[in-house]
Structure 1
Amino acid sequence: MLNRVEPLSDAEIVRAYLEASMVPDPDGAARYMAPGTPITFTGGRLFDHPSGPSGFNAMRYRWVKKRMERFDVCPAEGETIVYSVGTLYGEWPDGTAFEGNRYVDRFVVRDGLIVKMDVWNDSAERILQQRGIVA
């Protein structure tokens, strides 16, 4: 008898991408993306490979992880929109711990691969608050 491996659902593809990106393993994460997938990161930074956000995060955080609270799946004609919603936790470069930093990642999945990704989070607001610039 053959062991069959069921294909991943679109939400499972997104989860697998995010888990690999948190290692960080940008090349492993890239297995879930079409080549050249546009990744619009916080502040409108545009990347075309998971190594871009990983490199940016290495400058912004000592380390960072996601608590993936839910996946909202929106089927559309020929593709699926998947939102990953949750919070970030980790350490700033100075070693100060943080948690509860909200994030939303929006993915477009087509034919079993991520073809577009948009990232939003509250890190910039938290950095401004640490510096006393906003209340």
Structure 2
Amino acid sequence: MTSNTPDAEIVRAYLTASMIPDPDAAAAYMKPGTEITFTGGRIFDHPRGPTAFNAGRYKWVKKRMDRFDVAPGDGETVVYSVGTLYGEWLDGTPFEGNRYVDRFVVRDGMIVKMDVWNDSAERLLVAHGLVEP
């Protein structure tokens, strides 16, 4: 179900804060110690981790949040944010249309788990001539 439920709004607020970037404001939507599994299987326990990682990959990056798919469960809700990334690589080259999917588990009004996938690594491989487009 695609929805703007309260749990989806928590995820939207988290993502909005993380794009400022303001990792401490984003952390207000997460239970302390929440596991964030970022691209490449990197594990972080605070939004500062992904923010620091992104600073080494992008000059800046934002999300076009196209939709939120919500799957209510017993005591928790899984919320998927699906859309595209846009911004600038570190060398100043602009990009857009970079697909992403973020999966969140929300329990008692707080994010308790986050998983992140996007096409950035694949795009960098193509840009550097390491794979065919």
Q: 2:68 aligns with which of 65, 68, 71?
A: 71
Q: Higher Cα Rg: structure 1 or 2? A: 1
| 1:95 and 2:92 are equivalent in the alignment | yes
Distance 2:128 2:48 in 1: 29
Q: Which residue of 2 aligns with 1:32?
A: 29
Q: 2:101 aligns with which of 100, 104, 108?
A: 104
Q: TM-score, normalised by structure 1?
A: 0.94
- Consecutive unaligned residues of structure 2, counting only runs of 5 or more, are none
Q: CA-to-partner distance for each residue in 1:5-61, whole Å, 9 max, x for gaps? A: xxx700000000000000000000000000000000000000000000000000000
Q: Which residue of 1 aligns with 2:46?
A: 49
Distance 1:85 1:66 in 2: 9
Q: How many residues align?
A: 128
CA RMSD of aligned residues (A): 0.7
Q: Which residue of 2 aligns with 1:126?
A: 123
- Consecutive unaligned residues of structure 1, counting only runs of 5 or more, are 1-7
Distance 1:54 1:86 in 2: 19
Moved over 4 A (4+): none
Q: CA-to-partner distance for each residue in 1:94-130, whole Å, 9 max, x for gaps? A: 0000000000000000000000000000000000000
Distance 1:97 1:134 in 2: 20
Identity of aligned residues (%): 78
Q: Which residue of 2 aligns with 1:116?
A: 113
Structure with bigger strand share is: 2
Distance 1:131 1:35 in 2: 38
**Cα shift at 1:134:** 1.0
Alignment-mate amino acid for residue 127 of structure 1: L
Q: TM-score, normalised by structure 2?
A: 0.95
